[in-house]
Chain A
């Protein structure tokens, strides 16, 4: 099923790219280049062949692990893709580690103080932060912490050979806009789950049988409350890795988002295909993992087993 989805994705991208006007040689050399030069370039790259032949060629390489050569950079796609994926994973990890505990904590606190000031403040702040676009929060953060206070580097790209701590230092500023966007979302899910669990019969039972408040929250409420949050967080992982074009451009970071964006702009199909397939694969993988984790935490949806 997953493979079928990925295959359809590859067909869609290929077809979409070829329906749009403009050919590859033209995109490389620009509108003012000599037609002969464009023709020669298309011939060199094989982009003057029928689309189906090009697709067959690409898919034949892809299934054997050969992602082809970038039209723009005239060198294999794989190193570009690996670097970009690795970079994106690092940024996503930093943002993830910051936002998940914060978001859950915020949701839990809000739920425990339902209707009181803390709840309102958290909801309003979380919601407001969610609607601020990354390019606005990013520029404000750079101006305050990069230009005026000079606490953090403006560029997320570190120098060659930088250690993990330097890398982390470079990634803190760009991860904050992502934290701002996701915090409200995760907190809201966690709050809703908490409230539902707090009102549930088993919670009343737990309280009535004399368990301490702490025990009730930890052993009965949280475990049930966080189930929906897990699937929400899982779907956000793909966004954190592949959807950060704006952040990557603003903070000068070579991630998978800007890799796909520039490849699409330049009609660099091998690069575009590889990038989209990587994101598609990642999406399938995280969804699967989230389902497994959900099943692990929630025995009710397990098939067959009766524990």
Chain B
């Protein structure tokens, strides 16, 4: 690899310390090209600059994979019916997210490769300690009513979402990060976010990952559902709750002209009918199919499977403050009974990444890959049980929910721990009953000594590290309480450069492997199915389906 230092020096000029630190990492080989591109995008380095740096270092840029599609036609896709009124402030279900992605857009796209891509923001950058982030907005963006999108709309959107009086679903992201009034207009096309605490991954909080954060006009219409006004490639034509919707091409769209004339959305209550409808030619795309239901499709030549890695997982918790899991050796022993490669191959048909009992899935760039992978080891597990004084085994209960593959997973765990003498009773409840009131004392999820909880995808591990594991965390089913861990997570979240993030990540991974409050044995892929020959469909593991460049 020949390094063009002269070019590199020119490119370095005017870059902040963090940005140059990242470039140094790439030069030294501590950061790979892919990670550099992704992380540079988070820090707000422009695409030409990122390309310039990588080519100065002798990396070739990957060719643009975009294929020329043919405009026209009606695209029909199936999705799970939105569970509530279409209001960007309160939407909390996957069906609502998918529908919203037809007409609404966020400042940033958290792309399928987990990089932060410009959407309604053209560029962004943090101040020196990551407490203030400045965003430059795209200039030629119009709402569906013809009005230009400006900083006023962006400020109003984030004030609305961070206002506790609005019952906003985005509060679960913004609490402790962004308060009402902390989003400030600098000029018509520049906005500053003044954060409650330093955050190196803030761009993800205003990206598609935080799906409620679509930019809508400052004068938010009360009957939003009637217009679904946004900036997206499609405009609402008709919406029938529980049945479906149709959208038409937005001729004023700021980006590449949308290809389909119309998009028809067909709502379903379940996956099986969508699979039959795709096979029968009634729809062209199924927005998402769980791995277990997609099995029949995996070898079907008439369909095209889009499989993207996601951080969605089923987290097993063991309460560290309650028998029989107070001794960490018992928790480690349980973890050692599970054959992860077999679980991925059998339960998830290979459509998953192996987990190492922490939220750091292999696909996160911040994950430290040098932390050893935990493997099945019954002999060691038995030793640990002996050492903990429970060599003869015991009986306990695993409480969980009837959702996707979780009941099957519970049986695999039951069989696994049988080998070390643990008689595991399964208590599989309805999903609503399992979560209960979602507060300690009124929720089997948070009260059970052992349970399995489903976590949806996040573009960065921050949320997984905080609410489910911090001593103050509101989803802390394991009742994990570790001061060292809390300090490590605070420092991880505040880190602005990838190398220090990864160094902290390594410590967190090691600590969690030792303490084992939770088990993450696999992170399953997100699967979208289209009929063969349909190209240009982009989906995110968060549930967005982007059809602007889709064509037959």
A residues within 8 Å of B by Cβ?
A: 20-23, 25-41, 44, 72-75, 80, 139, 142-143, 146-147, 150, 153-155, 157, 248-252, 254, 258, 262, 265-267
B residues within 8 Å of A by Cβ?
A: 81, 83-85, 87, 90, 92-93, 164-169, 171-172, 175, 241-244, 266-270, 272-273, 276-277, 279-282, 432-433, 435-439, 442-443, 445, 467, 474-475
Chain A residues, CB < 8 A from B168: 34, 37
Known contacts being A20-B433, A147-B279, is A31 close to B438, with CB within 8 Å? Answer: yes
Chain B residues, CB < 8 A from A27: 432
| A199-B192 Cα distance, complex, nearest whole Å | 92
Total of A-B residue pairs, C-beta within 8 Å = 137
| A147-B242 Cα distance, complex, nearest whole Å | 24
Beyond the given A28-B84, A35-B438, A262-B269, please list 10 additional residue pairs across the A-B interface where CB-CB is below 8 A.
A21-B433, A27-B432, A31-B438, A31-B445, A34-B172, A35-B439, A36-B164, A37-B169, A75-B85, A142-B276
Chain A residues, CB < 8 A from B243: 157, 254
Chain B residues, CB < 8 A from A41: 90, 167
Chain A residues, CB < 8 A from B84: 28, 72-74, 266
B456 CB to closest chain A CB, in angstroms?
8
Chain A residues, CB < 8 A from B167: 25, 29, 36-41, 44
Among A27, A74, A249, the one with the most B-chain Cβ atoms within 10 Å of its Cβ is A74
| A262-B267 Cα distance, complex, nearest whole Å | 14
| A250-B432 Cα distance, complex, nearest whole Å | 23
Among A146, A150, A258, the one with the most B-chain Cβ atoms within 10 Å of its Cβ is A146
Chain B residues, CB < 8 A from A267: 432
Known contacts being A30-B93, A74-B85, is A249 close to B432, with CB within 8 Å? Answer: no
Known contacts being A22-B435, A250-B273, is A35 close to B474, with CB within 8 Å? Answer: yes
8 residue pairs from A and B, CB less than 8 Å apart = A21-B436, A29-B169, A33-B171, A36-B167, A37-B166, A142-B276, A154-B282, A266-B83
Chain A residues, CB < 8 A from B439: 35
Q: Which of A26, A29, A155 contacts B266 (CB 8 A)?
A: A155
Chain B residues, CB < 8 A from A254: 242-243
**Closest residue on chain A to residue B268 by CB atoms:** A252
Known contacts being A34-B175, A139-B272, A266-B83, is A40 close to B164, with CB within 8 Å? Answer: yes
Contact A249 B273 (CB under 8 A): yes
Chain B residues, CB < 8 A from A31: 435, 438, 443, 445, 475
Chain B residues, CB < 8 A from A44: 167
Contact B269 A258 (CB under 8 A): yes
Chain B residues, CB < 8 A from A22: 432-433, 435-438
Contact A40 B165 (CB under 8 A): yes
Contact A150 B241 (CB under 8 A): no
**Closest residue on chain A to residue B456 by CB atoms:** A32
